[in-house]
Amino acid sequence: MLNEWWRAKRAQPANQIVLTWRETREFVVWSLLIAVFSMMLVPYAATAAGGSHVLFSMEDRAGDDYGHGSLTYPLHKVFEPGLFDLRRVHIWHDDDNLYFDVSFGRVTNPWNAPEGFFHQLIDIYIDAEPGGHTTPVAPGPGVQFSPDAGWEYRLRIQPWGHSQWLDGRLIPGKVYPIKALVLPDGKTIRAEVPLATAGSPHKGWRYYVLVGGFDTFGPDHYRSVKETATQWCFGGGFSGGPQVIDLLDGGAGKRNQKAQLATKGADDELPVLLPVGPGISLPFTWGHLLASLVVLGVLGGIFVALSRQVPPGQAG
């Protein structure tokens, strides 16, 4: 629309190009809309540049670092709010590496782990092809996976040099050490997996992203979740319950985090999780709604203000 309008104006002699009042209002509104959409697309445009390719990108709602709904943080002061609040998972690759960028509400490093983070334990299980495993590598997280989406690869991200990529297609699985670090934003943990190790990543992959508390002495390095919080253990759990504090979920219904972590399998077995993906998926959250209302409010206010003004030449 703007392109056609501009071509029509350019056809007029330079000294005769005059915008009507209606055209002025429409130009302002369309310009603002284009600016808003441009800002939304900047992260993806930046990632697409330089030979990199986005495989998956998804936000997670803020403030749901409570597991199945009632988990609380350990009582020690180092467990600051937001440490286990997963906010976004962005997966992409260039010609050399496959990158997993996992963002949180807060990242701290009170014991100076070389990677720049200490508290987070992140497991990403990848459904890359039909079949696969429906139980974790070890029982630490206290969950199982959908029989319709078994996993072939697991990425474990944790401090003190123990991050690794596991190829579960092999028996026994083959483990590869990988690099993990905190990005300059101070809230995003990145894992780098060489393509020589990861193989050929695909946009059709599906993911289980689990966040627990890291504990060197915990089962499978998961920090324990007990009925009552202690200095070093989460509270609000129950015997045999999941040790997952946050996970990347699909947003509503049975895909909601609380619903997944509360749903048992046959014979009261462990909760059965559902994968997310494939592709770029930005689920609805209250933050998105608020941002949309703010943008609409600003645009509406500008439009109303312009419509109430008297067009030039009609004043008085």
CB 140 within 8 Å of CB 222 = yes
Whole-angstrom distance, CA of residue 90 vs CA of residue 56: 6
Higher per-residue pLDDT: 80 or 8: 80
pLDDT (average), residues 25-52 = 51
User: Which among 202, 69, 221, 216 is positioned nearest to 136, based on CA atoms?
Assistant: 221
Averaged pLDDT score across all residues of the chain? 83
pLDDT band at 285; cut points 50, 70, 90? very low
Domains annotated on the chain, with CATH? 2-43+285-308 (no CATH), 52-280 (2.60.40.1190)
Report how far apart, in Å, the C-alpha atoms of 48 and of each of 52, 111, 277 are. Answer: 5, 36, 19
**Mind listing the pLDDT tens digit for each residue in 73-132?**
999 999 999 999 999 999 999 999 999 999 999 999 999 999 999 999 999 999 999 999
pLDDT band at 43; cut points 50, 70, 90? very low
pLDDT band at 304; cut points 50, 70, 90? low
- Give the pLDDT confidence score for residue 23 in this predicted structure: 57
**Percent of the chain residues past pLDDT 90, beyond the cut:** 64
**Mind listing the pLDDT tens digit for each residue in 220-252?**
999 999 999 999 999 999 888 999 999 999 778
Q: Crossing angle, helix 21-48 and helix 286-308, to 10 degrees?
A: 150
Higher per-residue pLDDT: 153 or 3: 153
The answer on pLDDT for 283 being more than 70 is no
Residue type, 14: A
Whole-angstrom distance, CA of residue 304 vs CA of residue 244: 49
Q: Identify the residue whose tokens are 């999780």.
A: 273
